[in-house]
Every structure is written in C-alpha cells, then in structure tokens.
Chain A
Amino acid sequence: MASIADFAGAQPPVYHQERESKYGLSDWLTTVDHKKIGILYGISGLAGLAVGGLEALLFRIQLAQPDQHIFVGDQFNGLVTMHATTMVFMAVMPLIAAISNYFVPLMIGARDVAFPRLNAFSYWTFLFGVLLMHSSLIFAEFPAAGWTGYAPLTTKPYGAGGIDFWWAGLAMLAISSMIAGVNFVVTILNMRAPGMTLMRVPVLAWMILVVQFLLAFSFPPVTVGLILLAFDRTFGSVFYETSMGGDPHLWQHLFWLFGHPEVYVLILPSMGIVSEVLPVFSRKPLFGHHAVIFSGIFIGFVGFGVWGHHMFTSGMGPIADAAFAVTTAIIAVPTGVKIFNWLGTLVHAKMRLTTAMLFAVTFIPQFTIGGLSGVMHASPPLDLQQHDSYFVVAHFHYVLVGGALTGLFAGAYFYLPKITGRLLDETLGKIHFWMFIIGFNLTFFPMHLLGNNGMPRRIFTYPADAGWNTENMIGTIGVVFQVVSVLIFFYNMMVSSKKGAVAGSDPWDANTLEWMIPSPPPVHNFDFTPVVLSERPLWDHKYTPGFEITVPAQREEIHMPSYSWRPIIVSGFVLLVLIGLLSHIWALSVVGGVGIVVGVYFWVSEPV
C-alpha cells in the first residue's frame, strides 16, 4: 500500500520567476495567487454573513411580538432588502467564490487559474461593489424595494436615493461575476492535470463549472435590467414608466432570467461539497458518480427555462404559465436523482460522524424539504395561494440556509484545515452544528404554518389577534440560536487556526488531489504535476495497487506570475465610473473611463 508520505521526497520545482509569499498589506492588495484571493473572498463572505445575520436579527426582533414599532416602514423594508442582497451577493456567493478560488486549481492539479490577474480584478470589483452598496447607509438610506428590486417600484418617483447605490453596487458584482465565470470555465476545462478526463474531474469542481456557466450567461440579463433602470433614473428614459406605456413585466423577466439560475448558483456548489464530503466519511465511492455530474449539468440547462414560476401571479397568460409549470416540474427530477445518489452513498457505510459529515448528512433532509415545498409551486393554482406569503419565505430559506449554507458549513469544517493547516475543534464544531440546526428549524419550520395561515411577506408588524404570535416568537428565538451558533463558529475558526491540532496533508483520508500536498499548500501548489489515473486519484494511490501517483525523476520548471498593482487600479477606475454616474458628477465617470483604457494598456504591456 502506497501512502502520501511517498510524495515527501519530491523536490520543489525550479522557479523562473519567484512568486511572492509574504503577507504584508501590499502583498494582499497586489496578489494574483488564487489561494490568497480565495482567503480574501472567504473573509469578505464571513463578514457579509455577519452583517446579513445582524440585519436579520434586527427585523426578527421587530417581528417577535405583534404591534411593535421598533423598525417601521422603510426602515424595516431597508433591513429586509439589505438582508437578502447581503446574504445572496455578499455572503453565500463570496463563500462559494472562496472555495472555488482556493480549491478548484488544487482539485484539478493546476498551479493557478487561467488568468490570475483577471481573478484579482474580479475580487476587487466585487469588494468595491459591496462597499459601494453599503455606503448608501452613510450617503443616502438603505435601498428598500426588496432584493428583487421590482421596477417601477425602484424608479425615481417611488425609490429614494438608496436605489442608486443598489443598482451601481449590483452592476459591479455583475461585472465581477461574469469575468470570474469566464475565467473559471477556462480554468476547469483547460488546466486539468494530465489524465484528468472530464469524468475524472471531482464532483465539486464539476458543479462549480456548471455554476460558472450560469454566472457568465445569467448575469447579462439582469445587467441589462439594471442598465435600463439606471438610464431611467439618470438620463430620463422611460423603460419602466407606465404612463409612457412601460410594462412592469419587463424588469421581472430580465430579473428572473438571472434570478432563477442564480438560485442554482447558490445551491450547486453545496451539492458538490456534500458529494465530496459524504464519500470521504462513508469510506465509499460516491454512488452514481456520473449521474450526479450529469444531473448537475441538466439542472444548469433547465435552470434557464423556469424563471416564469416566480411570475405566476403577474398575469403572463395561461400558455406561459403552463410552459413554466412543466419546466419547473422537470427540474425536480435531476435534483431527486442527486438526493437518491447521496442516500445510496450512505447505505451500508461505516460513517465517521465528524462535524463536516454531520452538516453534510443534515443537508440532505433539509434540502429535500425545501425542494418539496419548491416543486409545489410548479403548480400555478397552488402558487397563487402561497405567493408572497411566509410559506415562500420558509421554502427558500430551507433551500438557501438549510441547503446552501449548511453545505458551506460542511465545506468549512472539511476544507479549512487545508487552508490553515490546523483542524477545527470538534467539540465546538458539534455545539455549532446542534445549535445551528435547532435554531434554523425553529425559525423556518413554523413559517410554513404562518404562510398557510395567511401571513404575507414584507409587512413590518401584525395585529395581536391574527393568530400569528406563537410562530413569530419561536422564529425569533430560533434566530438567536443561529446567531450564537455562528459566533461559536467564528470563535472556533479564530482559535483553531492558531492552536488547533496540526492537520497534516490528508487529515480525512480523502480522495482528491488537494489532499496530497501540504496544508497549507506551497505557493506553487504541486511539487510535480500529478498524472491522474482514476476518479479518486489519491484514494487509489493509497489503496489500489497499480494506481500509484509516481514522482517524476526530474524537477519541473515553472513560471508563476508575479504580483501586480494593475487589477486593483483598473477596478478602482470602474468604481469611479459608477460613482460619477450615481452622483451625476460626469467628470468622475470620464476620468474613470480614461483611467480604464490607460490601465488596460499598462495591464496588457506588463510582463507576467
């Protein structure tokens, strides 16, 4: 039996150009290393999780009891708008980007992404967009039109200045996501280690590949929707002006043509994480490996054809309603395929119930509940009853918190030891797990009942005799559980990254290439480019004779791109263009535009 200790003798490659390995401020600002950029995304995502959670705590306090007046009207609307926008775009998406950045090149045996400087540009554009949107709290007020930003509610007569920050921030996130999508599509398709055929690409990397296609192809419609909104608000065009014949359906179509693929952007990576974590801790191969991959691809395709189920109440007409009902019912099938594959993986497994495994196993029933309450809405008559009620709130929180976030927590306990080199504390981890799961279900399960009892979304208070008091109080108590559990998680991360048990290369006896290199990995990732012979290269290296990964006799020559100031500078000019547009100081936009051109000139002429 071979072991990964065999790789210890491998000599590091010969550098033609040394990549920075320092950790000063300027190193973080100029890094093009996918691992550092992944860490930056991770920290940003955790900060977003904290902010979004705080916003949720505030409006749950408002809703805890009937007839309260703590956050009233637009204050409440601003909190729910920013809670959703923050959680979707500034917590879950960057956490996914963190895992994609850090682990995709490692999983496919590459030294970096295809375009490292473009990758840095994506991060800074994302960060500036987040800061721009949140600066509305200082310069205007929180945007309060809901995260879906339905026009004409967001047009000038109805939406105050906060909306300008909202569209400008989202536009930057759209640019960032589209470019990152292109970058990772190329990375995963073109940068795989020798022998890694498409069917040998780890399931998580596969799901991230599907997600990158979704990002690259689904963001343009909402970008157009935001451009039209910006033109209406800034230059007086009439796209959403109903008195000029404008149709409120336009925004809904453009938004949901992005918005529904976005749902799969949020959930597919967690499905990928679960598909990696379950086999490792079950000590079995993933049941129906290819079916999991193909169902993910199928979800990606059909995900572009179901957006209308968000609009059944908007009066699209019976033919459109019927078509979207059918596609929505169809997309439940590949999702069900995945659920059975995970269950099949667990059958007769000798499970090791680590915290990562607990989160991954819990993902399955919670996501299934969210999926079942979702596929109900494929039926337009049922949807008409439940639309904009708390039943829908319960549904998408079961998918996004019980599914996406739970999967990301599994990923955190599984993958963080590779990043920090130290294991997270299991006792604290299990406290986190139980408090989070109990709190989550306390908050969101009663919302099914609230919705069926007629409580609508987006109301800041309710009368005492409506019969909604108990569920709302339980929901707020559940939020407290969740907040405390996440604080325990943060504490665990901070303490364990310094004092935790040393992880070593392969703490979980895992399957894939990222676990054959030291934790944390060296700057160049792999001392030698591994030749992949199977779907589980590291497992087969350890346990299947004839599948050992051999260390080449000669040292490889490599050339790693060095640090660069260009990405953050060009990104800053993009920010300047948008600041000019939303402040109506056109000179800023002109300076920004010229700056982008000059910056790109220096970018392309920079030797890498």
Chain B
Amino acid sequence: MSEAVAIAHDGHSHDGHGHDAGHGHDAGHGHHQLTENNFLGLPNIKLAMWAFLGSECMFFGSLIGTYFFYREMSLGGPMPEDIFDVNITSISTFLLLMSSVTMALAVDNARQRNFGKMRAFILATAAQGAAFVGFQIYEFSHFVAHGLKLSTSLFGSTFYTMTGFHGAHVSVGVIWLVMVALLATQGKLNKDKIAINVEVMGLYWHFVDIVWIIIFTFVYLLEFTR
C-alpha cells in the first residue's frame, strides 16, 4: 500500500503539470498531457520507435531469410561471384557507416540546443544517405547491364528485392532527415521536442545502417570466403 502511493506520487511528478493550478501552460506539453507516465523510463515516441524497429527486424529478417532460403538455388543467369564488385560496394558501405557518425553528432547538438550545427549534421547525414542510394542505383543498372534482372533467376529476384527494400528505407530516412531540417529552419518544431525527435530519427537511421552491415557481411563478403 505505501509502495503504491509512492509510485502514485512518482507518476504525478513525471506528469510535469501536477497540481499547480496557476502553472503557466506551455503548448509544447501537448502530447504529454495525455498522462504519459514513463513507467519504462522511455518517452512514448521513443518506445514506439523501438517497438517499430522490432517489427522491422522481422521484416528484414524475412527478406534476408528468403535470400538465404534461395541461395545457390538459381537455375541460370549471373551468379553473385560473377557480378559483385566488392570495392565499389565497400565505398558506399563506408559512406553509410560514416553517416551514422554525423547522425550521432546531430543528436548531440540537438540535445545541447545548437540547432544550427544540428541542422548541418542532419543535412550531412542526408547527403551521405542520398549518395548511398546513388551508388545503389549505379550498382543495379550495372548488374542489369550484365544480364541480371528481377526476372532472371531466384538470385535476381531475392537480391533486388532485399537490397531494394533496404534502399527504400534509406530513401525514407533521407526524406525524413530533410523534412526535419526543413521544419527546424521554419521554426515549426517545438524547441523542447527537437532533441527527442532527432534522437528517434537517429534510432531509425542507425537501425537501417545495421541492416546494411548484415546484408553487406552475409551477402557480399560471404561470397569471397569460399
């Protein structure tokens, strides 16, 4: 019973508005007025992103699983060892990994409320992501020129679908980054919520990065261990 009351008080203090009737209301608290109690120590939006990323794990798990289900089962057409150019893909991989550094710096600057620097790092992240997508478009057209199409073989179907959906996720991330930079410039984002929004965006970006590390390791590098 006493424990329960202690929790109760804890819950109220998290609420931020409490019992102070004269407390000046700040529109930024909008969402949090729906009694967000942070039992897990995570704000709603961050918990939502973690749950969504769990769902995304199953999504990419299924796509990568399909790739491995069909690995070396193609009946014809170019095989991975015929067309992979690991040097070029390493460059784009390096770019994507480095974009995680600029993303982390953007989050750090958002927390310190250096919004100018934050915007610069966000745009730098977006630029590297866009470059990665550019490399992927080049790679796809290069592979098509070498006779690997979506309909050529199981390898073509699984490879393009898996890496294509990863590229789509990077593209969504780039759009998101640009959108946040734009909204921050226009002052449409609540300054108290920028840090958490950028952090959640960072979670997504790092996740997409990690998925690529898995694909690069198990799809590209594995071909060179044989």
- Minimal Cβ-Cβ distance residue in B for A547: B1
A182 adjacent to B12 (CB under 8 Å): no
Interchain nearest-CB distance for B28 vs A (Å)? 10
A208-234 interface bits toward B, Cβ cutoff 8 Å, 1 = contact, 0 = none: 000000001111110111011001000
- Minimal Cβ-Cβ distance residue in B for A597: B175
- Minimal Cβ-Cβ distance residue in A for B17: A557
B48 adjacent to A183 (CB under 8 Å): yes
Chain B residues near A221: list those with CB within 8 A.
58-59, 61-62
A178 adjacent to B4 (CB under 8 Å): no
A150-193 interface bits toward B, Cβ cutoff 8 Å, 1 = contact, 0 = none: 00000000000000000000000000001001110110011111
B85 at the interface (CB under 8 A from A): no
B21 at the interface (CB under 8 A from A): yes
Binds B, one of A240-248, A318-326, A453-461: A240-248
Most buried by A among B19, B23, B37, B44: B37
Chain A residues near B42: list those with CB within 8 A.
190
Spell out A's residues near B (CB within 8 Å).
16, 109-112, 114-116, 178, 181-183, 185-186, 189-195, 197-198, 216-221, 223-225, 227-228, 231, 235-239, 244-247, 250, 253-254, 257, 529, 531-534, 546-547, 552, 554-555, 557-561, 597, 600-601, 604-605, 607-608
Which of A220, A236, A557 touches B59 (beta carbons < 8 Å)?
A220
- Minimal Cβ-Cβ distance residue in B for A178: B55
B11-55 contacts to A, CB under 8 A, are: 11-12, 17, 19, 21, 23, 25, 27, 29-31, 33-40, 42, 44, 47-48, 51-52, 54-55
A194 adjacent to B154 (CB under 8 Å): no
On whether A195 and B5 interact (CB within 8 A), knowing A189-B39, A247-B69, the answer reads yes
B1 adjacent to A546 (CB under 8 Å): yes
Bound complex: CA A359 to CA B207 (Å): 46
On whether A186 and B179 interact (CB within 8 A), knowing A220-B55, A529-B35, A557-B25, the answer reads no
B151 adjacent to A237 (CB under 8 Å): yes
Spell out B's residues near A (CB within 8 Å).
1, 4-5, 7-12, 17, 19, 21, 23, 25, 27, 29-31, 33-40, 42, 44, 47-48, 51-52, 54-56, 58-59, 61-63, 66, 69-70, 73-75, 150-151, 153-154, 156-158, 160-161, 165, 175, 179, 183, 188
- Minimal Cβ-Cβ distance residue in B for A249: B69
On whether A16 and B179 interact (CB within 8 A), knowing A235-B150, A238-B157, the answer reads no
Bound complex: CA A244 to CA B62 (Å): 21
Chain A residues near B61: list those with CB within 8 A.
220-221
B154 adjacent to A245 (CB under 8 Å): yes
On whether A194 and B44 interact (CB within 8 A), knowing A181-B55, A246-B154, A557-B17, the answer reads no
A114 adjacent to B161 (CB under 8 Å): no
Which of B37, B51, B151, B165 touches A191 (beta carbons < 8 Å)?
B37
Bound complex: CA A378 to CA B30 (Å): 51
Closest 9 CB pairs of A and B: A194-B11, A559-B33, A220-B59, A224-B62, A220-B58, A237-B157, A194-B8, A236-B151, A195-B8
Which of A111, A189, A195, A217 touches B55 (beta carbons < 8 Å)?
A217
Chain A residues near B30: list those with CB within 8 A.
559, 561, 607-608
B35 adjacent to A186 (CB under 8 Å): no
B75 adjacent to A245 (CB under 8 Å): yes
On whether A554 and B19 interact (CB within 8 A), knowing A114-B36, A607-B30, the answer reads yes
Which of A116, A189, A552 touches B47 (beta carbons < 8 Å)?
A189
Chain B residues near A231: list those with CB within 8 A.
150, 157, 161
Interchain nearest-CB distance for A157 vs B (Å)? 14
Bound complex: CA A110 to CA B34 (Å): 7
B55 adjacent to A216 (CB under 8 Å): yes
B33 adjacent to A558 (CB under 8 Å): yes
Chain A residues near B69: list those with CB within 8 A.
247, 250, 253
Bound complex: CA A218 to CA B57 (Å): 11
Which of A195, A244, A245 touches B7 (beta carbons < 8 Å)?
A195
Bound complex: CA A607 to CA B74 (Å): 53
B70 adjacent to A182 (CB under 8 Å): no
Most buried by B among A109, A225, A238, A608: A238
Chain B residues near A223: list those with CB within 8 A.
59, 62
- Minimal Cβ-Cβ distance residue in B for A200: B4
Bound complex: CA A190 to CA B41 (Å): 9
Bound complex: CA A462 to CA B55 (Å): 45
Most buried by A among B8, B25, B42, B73: B8
Chain A residues near B188: list those with CB within 8 A.
605
Bound complex: CA A235 to CA B179 (Å): 31
On whether A220 and B33 interact (CB within 8 A), knowing A190-B40, A236-B151, A238-B153, the answer reads no
- Minimal Cβ-Cβ distance residue in B for A238: B157
- Minimal Cβ-Cβ distance residue in A for B179: A601
